[in-house]
Amino acid sequence: MRQSLPQPPLTQLTFPKGWIECSCREAANVFYGDHEQGSDRSAGMMLDKLVALGLICKQFDGNCNQIEIQPLPDLLDYKISNFKVLVTPDAFDPRCDAIPIANLLASNYEWFNQNTEVVPYRIANILRGWASQYTTGLRVLRRCDNQNPIGFYALYPTQQESEVKFFAPPSQGLHLSQVAEVDPFEMALPKDERCRSVFVRSWIIDRPYQKQGQVLFLKDVQQTLEKMREDFPNLWDMYSLIIHPRYAELALALGFQKTSSDPKLSLYWVYQAVDRFLAIDMQKATMLLTEPE
């Protein structure tokens, strides 16, 4: 049988504006080209992954799938530097902030979690539970005009009995994104001198505010850690899970070291000493980071 010659690679891409029709078969032709493997169904799943990563939007008009490609600063002359809304760090308010933050955080987990329907509801309940135990480590980045939270981080003081789980497979440390009822990590309470570890369980800034808010929010993390040391005088170690690939570069810039990977998922633990994190000049450390999308 005569085989068709492979097509030459594309040398230029044209950015389509607005919604365009894209069937799963057309997507398969783009993703898999001349390869024999790659079904229409797998192409549809690939589109869903791109949606979860925020690279495209997708809708169904009743006849065909439509997609809209999201503009990226690295590919287009697309700037958000004129975004002038003032933002400020603030304490997490479980009464007002839990629902919007839960929906913001859910976007971090959609790309690998198939059970996305209940994730925001679970996250909101978990955050309110944490706040009922210890609120100092829960902070938001808030718009000054309407008070809406557009960023969040959680510094979770960890009981000494839970420290061994930082050396277990990273997937065993997931809780916000999972359906498991039991949190694998027990929270330490103030004045616990055996508490040596803080778990950065969450870090997120909504994309339009990342450039203006990132350094401000990182400095707030340092200030919050200093306050937490008053409650936990032997706080030495910081751990976090790199769940979304977007945050790997930031973790590296802040001196976090990769300690162990997961055998099943693209997750890994990172570590940094609290003393060294507090000594970082955040402005200098983040100067060479890729512009936020």
Helix (H, G, I), strand (E, B) or coil at 219: helix
Phi/psi-derived region of residue 5, left when phi > 0, alpha when psi is between -120 and 50, beta in every other case = beta
- Tokens (6 digits) for 92: 């997490």
Domains observed in the chain: 20-69 (1.10.10), 87-285 (3.40.630.30)
Q: Would you say 261 and 243 are in contact if contact means Cβ atoms under 8 Å apart?
A: no
pLDDT at 78: 42
Interior angle at CA 3, CA 29 and CA 30, nearest 5: 10
CA-CA distance, 180 to 135, in Å (whole number)? 23
pLDDT at 112: 56
CA distances for 177 relative to 2, 101, 186, 228, 240, angstroms: 50, 14, 17, 26, 15
Radius of gyration over every alpha carbon of the chain, rounded to an integer in angstroms: 21
CA-CA distance, 111 to 128, in Å (whole number)? 24
Q: What is the pLDDT of residues 33-81, one digit of tens each?
A: 666 656 777 777 777 777 766 677 777 777 778 888 776 654 544 444 4
What DSSP character marks residue 76?
Answer: S
pLDDT at 292: 52
Q: Would you say 156 and 195 are in contact if contact means Cβ atoms under 8 Å apart?
A: no
- Tokens (6 digits) for 1: 């049988």
pLDDT at 234: 97
H-assigned helices in 151-293: 210-231, 248-253, 274-278, 282-285
CA-CA distance, 154 to 105, in Å (whole number)? 11
| Regions of the chain short of the pLDDT cut 70 | 1-11, 13, 33-38, 52-54, 71-83, 108-118, 173, 175-180, 263, 290-293
Asked whether the CA dihedral 189, 104, 44, 29 is positive or negative, the reply is: negative
pTM, rounded to two decimals: 0.72
Q: Would you say 228 and 157 are in contact if contact means Cβ atoms under 8 Å apart?
A: yes
What is the arrangement of strands in the sheet containing 149-158, beginning at the earlier edge strand? 87-91, 138-143, 149-158, 197-205, 237-242, 268-273, 257-261
Neighbours of 173 (CB within 10 A): 22
CA-CA distance, 207 to 72, in Å (whole number)? 11
pLDDT at 274: 98
